[in-house]
A and B are shown apart, each in its own frame.
Chain A
């Protein structure tokens, strides 16, 4: 027995749409342009989205609900669902004009404001750039952005997009940049985790407003780090900073950092710190030397070639 849904009052239609999962909402949006607009009005508010690779997109609902949209070229499989658990499953759809187009459509239709993770795979086309553009177009926030090296990527172009996007969590970058690459962040994410970070200069570090800074393959030397830590000690500087992890071949045992020549370590100060990412996975315990800021905040510094760890 059919029901004339569009004859219901708008608020009631909204109540019904709230009971629909993202698969149903997607199918509904394909019914007609008019109904597509109704979905935008009534879609649930707490959805998150991320891409797995260039052929699948996942939407997270409340709790553990997980809905995977998987690309298929086979028309007979369109809209076919497979249920994995009560709240997890997949639906096959057409990725017309590529993943970025579908991603943008889902963000727009389901009013998703929280992009949980954008990540490219290690090989393949540089679709992540198109995804970031789609997110910028929709004015959504990216919680975490992770890019692997892609030799086809135009680094300057991509990093310019990073500056335009609103990354609220961590920007993880494994991209290898050309030797003359330069970049200045115009807005910083909460955390940065940069491999091949030779281009991240002292000036960048002094202006960085991140909570957590992780630099691998850095060219920063003792003098740069000394200047940075002296600035940190001053009142009102780096109000967000909690952790700095730097791996640099230019850290040496010749010149001082805060009047201490590396290695800088205090065996008496055993302090468990959280695991870092990548090469800092094994930080484990920190035998740091106390560094005190003018406002009394205490930081812990450990320098052992080629690494510097500073934790507030």
Chain B
């Protein structure tokens, strides 16, 4: 299926295992692509698994890379942490060629990673996983009171929002004053 290259992006990925095929079907070699996140760890993923990501699928659909070209040109996702990308790749591999069940138990459960995971999945446009992640986030506030929700989702109170707004206005005023002073200096 896929393998992860721990270390550097230049490390050679492991050979893909091939799925058993019926004797009658002609052998079609599966194509593989390579992705890496912020940590530069390269993940080898089959085109089939990558189909879950509308973003990557769109990128690779017209490339026609050979194995060598694909290996030499891993897709960089510098905005995604390595461990998050690993989770996403694992999920894509587990669901290669399969529809996602409504209650997917093969999904990352770590609440502390959920925020980054949601962002990554949204960016990579993996619709089913995004729906699941959003459900997980929504579940966090099930049965909770507004005070509890405020804590869980870090929602500032009205007073905090007002203070932040005042602060932002003050800062903007100072910046504007600074720019005016600088412009006046230039004019002199």
A-side residues, CB < 8 A to B, are 1-6, 8-9, 11-12, 15-20, 24, 27-28, 30-35, 78-79, 81
CB neighbours of B1 from chain A (8 A)? none
Q: Name the distance in Å between B61's Cβ and chain A's nearest Cβ.
A: 24
- By Cβ-Cβ distance, the 6 closest A-B pairs, closest first, are A19-B138, A5-B153, A30-B146, A1-B112, A79-B145, A4-B154
**Contacting residues, chain A, for B141 (C-beta < 8 A):** 20, 24, 27-28
Once the chains bind, are A81 and B143 in contact (CB under 8 Å)?
Answer: yes
A-chain residues with CB within 8 Å of residue B131 when the two chains form the complex: 15, 19
- Nearest chain B CB to A89's CB is how many angstroms away? 10
- Contacts A18-B134, A19-B137, A28-B141 given: A9-B156 contact, CB under 8 Å? no
Q: In the complex the two chains form, what is the Cα distance from A35 to B149 in whole Å?
A: 11
Known: A4-B153, A33-B158. Contact between A79 and B115, CB under 8 A? no
Residue numbers in B under 8 Å from A27 (CB-CB): 141, 144-146, 149
Do B111 and A31 have beta carbons less than 8 Å apart?
Answer: no
Name the B residues within 8 Å of A24 (CB-CB).
138, 141-142, 144, 149
User: A19 to B158, alpha carbons, bound, how many Å?
Assistant: 25
For A4, the chain B residues whose CB sits under 8 A away are 115, 153-154
Known A4-B153, A6-B154, A16-B134: A28·B146 in contact at CB below 8 Å: yes
Cβ distance B133 to chain A, nearest Cβ, rounded Å: 9
Chain B, 118-147, contact with A by CB distance < 8 Å: what is the 0/1 string? 110010000000110011011011111110
Determine the residue in chain B with the shortest Cβ distance to A19: B138
Whether B115 pairs with A31 at a CB distance below 8 angstroms is: no
Q: Separation in Å of the A12 CB from the closest CB of chain B?
A: 5
A31 to B159, CA, bound (A): 11
Q: Does B157 contact A (CB under 8 A)?
A: yes
Shortest CB distance A73–B (Å): 17
The number of chain B residues touching the other chain, given as a range, is 20 to 34
Give every chain B residue within 8 A of A2 (Cβ-Cβ).
151-154
B104: min CB distance to chain A, Å: 14
Closest residue of chain A to B164 (Cβ to Cβ) is: A34
Q: Complex Cα distance A219/B145, Å?
A: 56
Q: How far is the CA of A164 from the CA of B84 in the complex (A)?
A: 56
Question: Pick the contact of A20 from B115, B138, B161 — CB < 8 Å?
Answer: B138
B38 at interface by CB-CB < 8 Å: no
Please name all residues of chain B whose beta carbon is closer than 8 Å to the beta carbon of A1 when the two chains form the complex: 111-112, 114
Chain B residues near A11: list those with CB within 8 A: 122
Would you give the shortest CB distance from A11 to chain B, in whole angstroms?
A: 8
- Asked if B150 is at the interface (CB within 8 A of a chain A CB), the reply is yes
Residues of B within 8 A of A8 (CB): 115, 118-119
B155 at interface by CB-CB < 8 Å? yes
Asked if residues A12 and B135 are in contact (CB atoms below 8 Å), the reply is: no
Q: How far is the CA of A16 from the CA of B131 in the complex (A)?
A: 8
Could you list 12 further interchain pairs (A-B, Cβ under 8 angstroms) beyond the known A12-B134, A24-B149? A1-B114, A2-B153, A2-B154, A5-B153, A8-B118, A8-B119, A15-B131, A16-B138, A19-B131, A28-B141, A31-B155, A32-B155
